[in-house]
Structure 1
Amino acid sequence: MDDELRTKAVDAFIEATNTADPERRATLLSRALTDDIVFWGPLGRSVGRKAVEDFITEVIQRHPSGSCLMVRTTRVDAPDEWARYGWRYESAAGEPLLSGMDIVHITADGDIDEIVVFAGPLT
C-alpha cells in the first residue's frame, strides 16, 4: 500500500475534525472513512461514519475551551495496513490541551475502517 494514500486518509480525517462547515466535514469524512468504520474513542465504541461525525460535532467542536484544532504531530507510520500517528489538540492560541496517538486500519483502497484513539500520556 502507498504511504501517500495512508497519509491522505489521516490528514482528511484531521481536517474534518477542524472544519466547522458540516457539508465540508461530511465530504472530508467520506474521502477518509468507510461507511461502516469502527471508532474506539474516549466515550467508547461506535460504528459508522455518522457516529464519527456526531463525535466531532458534539465533543470536539463544542469543547469548553472554544475553537480548538487537532494537529498531527508525527508522520503517519504504517508498516502495512495498520498505521499510527501522534496528534495534539490545541486552543486557538496554540496552547496544548491534550495529546495522544491514534491507531488506524486502512483498507487497500486507502480508506480508514477502524480508529483506536489513545488520548493522554501513558503512566
Structure 2
Amino acid sequence: MTDETLHIQAIDAFIAATETADPDQRATLLSRALAPDIVFWGPLGRGVGREAVSDFITEVVRSHPSGPCRMVRTTRVDAPGEWARFGWCYEDAEGRVLLSGTDVVHVTLAGDIDEIVVFAGPL
C-alpha cells in the first residue's frame, strides 16, 4: 500500500466521522483515522486527543444552527511524503456551502493522522 493510499484512507475516515450522529460509530471511525494523541488545530483553538476531535465534531459540525451539516472533501489528497493536504467544504442539508478551506495533516508510518491544521475560509 502506498503512502498516498494510507493518507487518503485516514482522511476519508476522518471525514466520515464528521458525517455520523452515532457517537460509537464516530469513535470507531476516529480510531481508524487518528492517533490517540492527535493534535488538532481548529478554528476554536488547539485540542489534543481523539476525544477533543470528537467534541469539536459534536459541538461545531453536528450542532450548526442550520441543522446537521456535512463536510465534503472537494479536492484530491496531495500527499508529499508524511504530510498531506486537501480541500473541503462544509455544506447544509440543501448543499449550500457555508464554509470552505484546506486541512493539512501529518500522517505517521502506521497511517494514523497525528496532527491536523485547519485553514477555514479563503486565503
Task: Flag structure 1 segments of 5+ consecutive residues without an equivalent.
Answer: none
State the number of aligned residues.
Answer: 122
Residue 86 (1) aligns with residue 94 (2): no
TM-score, scaled to structure 1: 0.97
For residues 56-67 of structure 1, the aligned pairs below 5 Å read: 56-67=57-68
Secondary structure in structure 2 of the residue aligned to 1:63? coil
In 1, Cα distance between equivalents of 2:35 and 2:115: 9
The answer to whether the Cα contact below 8 Å between 2:38 and 2:113 also exists between their aligned partners in 1 is yes
Amino acid at match of 1:4: T
In 2, Cα distance between equivalents of 1:34 and 1:52: 11
Deviation (angstroms), 1:63:
0.4
Provide, for residues 46-76 of structure 1, a one-character-per-residue CA deviation record: whole Å limited to 9, x for no partner.
Answer: 1111100011011111001102110000011
- Tell me the residue number matched to 1:53: 54
- Tell me the residue number matched to 1:113: 114
In 2, Cα distance between equivalents of 1:33 and 1:50: 10
Deviation (angstroms), 1:2:
2.1
- Tell me the residue number matched to 1:77: 78
- Tell me the residue number matched to 1:37: 38
In 1, Cα distance between equivalents of 2:38 and 2:122: 25
TM-score, scaled to structure 2: 0.97
Provide, for residues 61-94 of structure 1, a one-character-per-residue CA deviation record: whole Å limited to 9, x for no partner.
Answer: 1001102110000011001000000000001110
Amino acid at match of 2:59: E
In 1, Cα distance between equivalents of 2:46 and 2:6: 25
In 1, Cα distance between equivalents of 2:72 and 2:16: 9
- Tell me the residue number matched to 2:100: 99
Regions of 4+ moved over 6 Å:
none
Task: Flag structure 2 segments of 5+ consecutive residues without an equivalent.
Answer: none
